[in-house]
Structure 1
């Protein structure tokens, strides 16, 4: 008797580590997810600037939680503060009750506020996201002035709740929604894509003149607003630093007209721009500062700090359940003190200048780089179509498809960078303030290689990693 043995079916290849997690995320999470689309990885460990995926690959993280991780991932100072708080038995949630941890955080925060601002200020603890602190600041000034409306700027990003979204400039996230409140949109000085078509100091001067004359024009259509809100460096808007002279002019214009000035320091705070707070570059003193991200030491925390003359709220005028995050306060206090003590503010300025200089040299070699700009370790690289005709300012059309190819080429080379700005054509670099010289060189080498490869590959092709 002959027995025929059928050949065994070849075993299906084992799924890549983390692939099941990614598949379940795609199925279960909303279509609004963002970073998960850009970076299809499953981080399992992280230390400093290094993130390790489930597949064992390591990446240098130049996103840093969108600027949240001033000290990088799992810094020993942060972990020690969290462990100490946990081991102490301190309550982790107490609404807005007084605690030793909150008191210590407030001491650390006020000790580092800009000179002339902290001496006569109050702090309000908000819900754990920056957008709620923006809402609080706008509501505060409406209460104090008895007025409605706000002055905001092109390119601005202030959050995704109703009031914050109203003063945000990005049309794409506003389009499906009903009217966004009484907001007058003013031109932000964007040298490379000047709203007046002239660029440079002349463009900033025109932005000042336009603002001043519009507000003083009895037929200009602008009812005196409750506040002006701005970013000293626009982050999501494409890493666009405001000229110091323009910021001083906005402070003068608002002060002369009795309009409170709110500065959104959610992404720029705690040393990111080479100053503890971005307003310090210009020397202005705002009426209110909105703070989040890095002040929580990697954990959710948001506050608004404002001059005490505006403290006209009634109890409960702006409240929320998660205003008492004890762990975030402990981690945030430790982070702010470490940044100040270790000179990381100054280091951010030095390393940022080094990165910017190297990238500008690369721009001279690669015409797909239209502009390199930023302040400290908040840097943007705008990618353009080098074959298109330049406008009157010498700028060329944005190249969003190229930007996507560069981002993917960076990921293939073990580098995490995200996009922003008009048409998502700006590579945004937000490395931790603790980045080493060796890591700086590695970031620059990988980024340069990725831009070269993506530019050479052309549309429809994605460059692979180097061996």
Structure 2
């Protein structure tokens, strides 16, 4: 673990004395803290220095091994250093192919595009175009929004509560988190709509009725001449909210969004950056509902662990002039080779179906744990995209029966998981959701180990919270007695 400020490792060495040897990796962590920006995030939660990784296992410089349930925020569909990915990278390197060609045509790009289109819903792929963007999902979101603004001649965007679409200007405007938006000026004209979230329903009713009200509200607002919403350029939505806490959109609700947008000639953009490539139990999360979108934003796993992002869209929206959206690193040959290999392996090995089966078993066991671990308020998700919302069992339930979120407990659970050799990250509206994003190649034994370690971590963190609360109560009673 990273030493606290003021420990002997951080104090200057007196003259004439040699510095004590640093623990393995500590020098690297020190330099990172001294040189990298304050915006770093994962490095604060996981003070480890990975030196080797294979599949789901990461080994730190100190020799400790961890089960990785973060998977590069969903990037590593096949886990770390999968043989299929390594072989594709080596083959490309040995071929002498250019590694960077801007947007020139190459055999690798052609092969990647073919592999990608083979996995897309046929009704969408048959009349689709692809645009290669800068290598991050946020740039693909920017491209999709600009594309629809160009095609429609409109400006506004419809987005949802709890959404996360990236950190660049337009993508950030569509993102729901106020914590990352408050320090910045407004970046676009966005109408925020209620995303169905059964456990903390925005309408206070939950379940199917909450989703129905969300659809009714959306339709009435768009048709209300006094509603303040001008005709939008697009609606952008996640079929499962990732950073928002692994909240899946009901299939019927997503079909309603498609109907509402189609009837009003509003392009529907599906953000599949984190949900794509088998993660949710289908190759693409939108397939669960049968919806055919106007555009799909893809990144993360499509590059086979290397940086790659694209927008795929219906050809009638292709109204851009040359150079309307560019990016220096949109010709990442290695990522295209690794991505094509990954897409074909996931399809050939039925890993989406495997994700659905393993994910359902994991979610069922976590749900069963709620009886013995009351700090688990809700378990949800789809496939291997699972969220465990942690709550205060002593709190007052809201009108839907949901207990208050406990972000402090979630932080303790994350630390307790790391101490047990399990890497998990937090998300959700209050950062109180433990998110599980294991690789699609997770074994049954690894799945059981993840659940065992997580359950132990929740039990320990809950017990320590109870002890702290009891101590605080005793101290308060003592102070009153002595007053």
User: Do these two structures clear the TM 0.5 threshold for a shared fold by scoring above it?
Assistant: yes
- TM interval, shorter chain, is over 0.9
Distance (whole Å) between structure 2 residues aligned to residue 20 and residue 164 of structure 1: 36
Distance (whole Å) between structure 2 residues aligned to residue 276 and residue 57 of structure 1: 34
CA offsets, 1:216-244, max 9 Å, x none?
00111000000000000000001100000
SS of residue paired to 2:256: helix
Q: Report the CA distance between 1:458 and its aligned residue.
A: 1.4
Q: Report the CA distance between 1:14 and its aligned residue.
A: 2.4
Q: Report the CA distance between 1:180 and its aligned residue.
A: 2.4
Give TM-score, length-normalised by structure 1.
Answer: 0.96
8 Å Cα contact 1:380-1:428 kept in structure 2 = yes
Q: Tell me, which stretches of 5 or more residues in structure 1 are unaligned?
A: 1-8, 462-467
| 1:226-305 correspondence runs (5 A) | 226-305=233-312
What residue in structure 2 maps to residue 6 of structure 1?
none
Does 1:57 pair with 2:64? yes
Distance (whole Å) between structure 1 residues aligned to residue 277 and residue 372 of structure 2: 34
Does 1:112 pair with 2:126? no
**Alignment partner for residue 48 of structure 2, among 34, 41, 47?**
41
Q: How many residues align?
A: 453
| 1:426-437 correspondence runs (5 A) | 426-437=433-444
8 Å Cα contact 1:401-1:459 kept in structure 2 = no
Does 1:219 pair with 2:238? no
**Alignment partner for residue 340 of structure 1, among 320, 327, 347?**
347
CA offsets, 1:106-149, max 9 Å, x none?
00000000120000000000000000000000000000001111
CA separation of 1:460 and 1:312: change in aligned 2, threshold 3 A: farther
What residue in structure 2 maps to residue 91 of structure 1?
98
CA offsets, 1:293-342, max 9 Å, x none?
00000000000000000001000000110000000000000000000001
Higher helix proportion, which one?
Answer: 2
SS of residue paired to 1:222: coil
8 Å Cα contact 1:21-1:42 kept in structure 2 = yes
Distance (whole Å) between structure 2 residues aligned to residue 126 and residue 10 of structure 1: 54
Q: Report the CA distance between 1:402 and its aligned residue.
A: 0.3
**Alignment partner for residue 31 of structure 2, among 6, 24, 27?**
24
8 Å Cα contact 1:402-1:459 kept in structure 2 = no
Distance (whole Å) between structure 2 residues aligned to residue 442 and residue 12 of structure 1: 40
What residue in structure 2 maps to residue 161 of structure 1?
168
Q: Report the CA distance between 1:422 and its aligned residue.
A: 1.3
Distance (whole Å) between structure 2 residues aligned to residue 312 and residue 180 of structure 1: 23
SS of residue paired to 2:286: helix
**Alignment partner for residue 22 of structure 2, among 15, 23, 46?**
15
**Alignment partner for residue 137 of structure 2, among 121, 130, 135?**
130
Distance (whole Å) between structure 2 residues aligned to residue 460 and residue 189 of structure 1: 36
| 1:124-203 correspondence runs (5 A) | 124-203=131-210
CA offsets, 1:358-409, max 9 Å, x none?
0001112111000000000000000000100101100011100000000000
Distance (whole Å) between structure 1 residues aligned to residue 362 and residue 99 of structure 2: 40
Distance (whole Å) between structure 2 residues aligned to residue 458 and residue 312 of structure 1: 57
Distance (whole Å) between structure 2 residues aligned to residue 191 and residue 364 of structure 1: 20
Distance (whole Å) between structure 2 residues aligned to residue 115 and residue 450 of structure 1: 44
SS of residue paired to 1:263: strand
Give TM-score, length-normalised by structure 2.
Answer: 0.93
| 1:341-356 correspondence runs (5 A) | 341-356=348-363
